[in-house]
Chain A
Amino acid sequence: MDQVLNWISEHQQMIYIVVLMVFLGIEVIGRVPSVLHTPLMSGANAIHGVVIIGAIIVMGKAEADNYLAIILGFLAVILGTLNVVGGFVVTDRMLEMFKKKK
């Protein structure tokens, strides 16, 4: 119990961020027209590709003799990049078509 409370007070900044982001995430897309559901989903999909940062960190910290960590880390970097790059490019392609009309 003490450990948990300690952890909370140590990480209170992070916990505040989580709480605020939950409300912000809901507010920010509150009035999206159904036309934009697909691009929005795809765009949000690209944003959670931010997990790539974690992949870069584990990859960059892996000891040279820890082959399992290196191989899995390398795989994680590839998959994370796929998520980010593919996500943004595919969203851009969708939205490009909307744009042409205006």
Chain B
Amino acid sequence: MGISLLTVSYLVASVTYILGLKMLSNPATARRGNQIAAGGMTIAILATIFLYEDEGHGLHNYVWIFAGLLIGSVVGTLAAKKVKMTAMPQMVSLFNGMGGACAALISIIEFNHLTHNSDGTAEYFASLEGVNLLIIFAGLIIGSVSFAGSMIAWGKLDGRIKDHAFKGQHIVNLLFIGISVALAAFIIIARPVETPIYFYVILALSLIYGVFFVLPIGGADMPVVISLLNSFTGVAAACGGFLYDNKAMLTGGILVGAAGTLLTILMCRAMNRSLTNVLIGSFGGGATAGGGAGKAQGSYKEITLSDAAVVMSYANKVMIVPGYGLAVAQAQHTCHELEKLLTEKGVEVKYAIHPVAGRMPGHMNVLLAEADVSYDKLEEMEQANEEFATTDVVLILGANDVVNPAAKTDPSSPIYGMPILDVELAKTVIINKRSMKPGYAGIDNDLFFRPKASMLFGDSKKVLQDLIGEVKNL
């Protein structure tokens, strides 16, 4: 009875994951979809705790299980509730790393379980089931890579870790992962007595690989990496499904593995790049960025606050291009205020949203939604590019790489080929930045030196507040 109820629970859970993912891909049903999947997950977890049986024995160590669930739930909820919307990508990366670590730990414990009861002889190791070992190793390698990589991705997005790359790093990387896989294969085929030692060597190599795999990749490409690692963790979870003959883990894991891989490709496509280009192309990207630095010299104009206020108040149409700088300054609400004020004065105000504005695709939409900006004011890139020609003023708020003309003109630029917002089609471009420092991708922007452009330095929020004051005084 208990076991069949468990099977039914897992079936229900699997269906909710599929339904949840399906609904998450549609704006109208997304939230419900997430809640349905969460409900299914709760059922699966509770059913496992109370109904799971192995050869007639239920689970024990309930105190530990509940303590772990409680700690995880409290910390997880607090972290998820407290995190600023701007720091969202880091958070997702961190949670993903936790899942990867969990999968790797399961493999470690299962392996430890195998050796715990062993007499350490070659006969014992030879008697182990090969496919089981294969699954344990797969979970270990994929889980550790996902964990280590996610931690680095988190550190990078949080500004704690800088890009590091050295010559031939991708060859060294291939060596790390190649040796891990070869060692695992060697153990499965030859069953040496030193198996336990090799096991931990594989663990160490996978962790190092995870670190070196993500380290050289530029911050702007981090969302793609997180999405990829996300699908890795899915596959690692599915390994657990094979290990325990557990259908809920299997469906959930593989579903995310497949969907995550597609999502990774979709994200690359939004940036008009291939996955290989993102992963391998970044090596030596530092050198290109350095070379570009000398070129974009020249003089830029500054515009005063009152001039900017006048230009915008008497314009017919203003397009706001928000970027990560706006989000960091927490200025989305102030920006919405300026938009309302200008609209009252009869100016048509719209937002031009680049698909990768912010730190992740769709991130900027989340941030503006938080500030109550209405949907119909948000223009996607293609629409916006058609409208720039009839726009009087473009106000760029803390965006940089998404308006960099080098993406179109300079084949040596790391962002070459990425579609950009053609702000230069408009009559005037006002750029708000904190300083002349290059943007997140670390490359200079020729736009700032163009005749149509003028700079308005300062923190986005402060500048917007002052602008509102000036517009009111007109």
Contact = CB atoms under 8 A, between A and B. Distances in A.
B361 A38 contact: yes
Contacts of A102: 28
Nearest to A32: B25
B468 interface: no
B257 A25 contact: yes
B91 A38 contact: no
Contacts of A7: 129, 131
A37 B251 contact: no
Contacts of A11: 242, 245
Given A82-B95, A96-B31, A98-B369, A25 B254 contact: yes
A45 B95 contact: yes
B106 interface: yes
Contacts of A36: 24-27, 30, 362
B180 to A, nearest CB: 20
Which of the four size classes fits the interface of chain A?
Answer: 35 or more
Interface in A75-101: 75-101
B76 A30 contact: no
B163 to A, nearest CB: 22
Contacts of A92: 31, 34-35, 38
Interface stretch (B41-49, B302-310, B339-347): B41-49
B interface, over-half SS: helix
B293 interface: no
A73 B253 contact: no
Contacts of A39: 24, 30, 34, 362, 366
Most buried by B among A3, A66, A79: A79
A102 to B, nearest CB: 7
Contacts, number: 389
B249 A51 contact: yes
Interface string B30-74: 110111011001001100110010100011111011011101110
Given A38-B363, A78-B68, A90-B92, A44 B99 contact: no
Interface in B229-272: 230-231, 233-234, 236-238, 240-263, 266-267, 270
A81 B71 contact: yes
A99 B266 contact: no
A57 B48 contact: yes
Contacts of B77: 85-86, 89
A87 B77 CA distance: 9
Contacts of A68: 109, 112
B12 interface: no
A21 B54 CA distance: 26
Contacts of A14: 241-242, 245, 247, 250
A65 to B, nearest CB: 10
A58 to B, nearest CB: 5
B99 A48 contact: yes
B109 A76 contact: yes
Given A77-B69, A94-B88, A94-B366, A41 B227 contact: yes
Given A17-B254, A29-B21, A66 B37 contact: no
Contact of B267 (A37, A85, A95): A37
Interface of B: 13, 17-18, 20-22, 24-28, 30-31, 33-35, 37-38, 41, 44-45, 48-49, 52, 54, 58-62, 64-65, 67-69, 71-73, 75-77, 79-81, 83, 85, 88-89, 91-92, 94-96, 98-99, 101-103, 105-106, 108-110, 112-113, 116, 129-131, 223, 226-227, 230-231, 233-234, 236-238, 240-263, 266-267, 270, 355, 360-363, 365-366, 369-370, 372, 374-375, 380
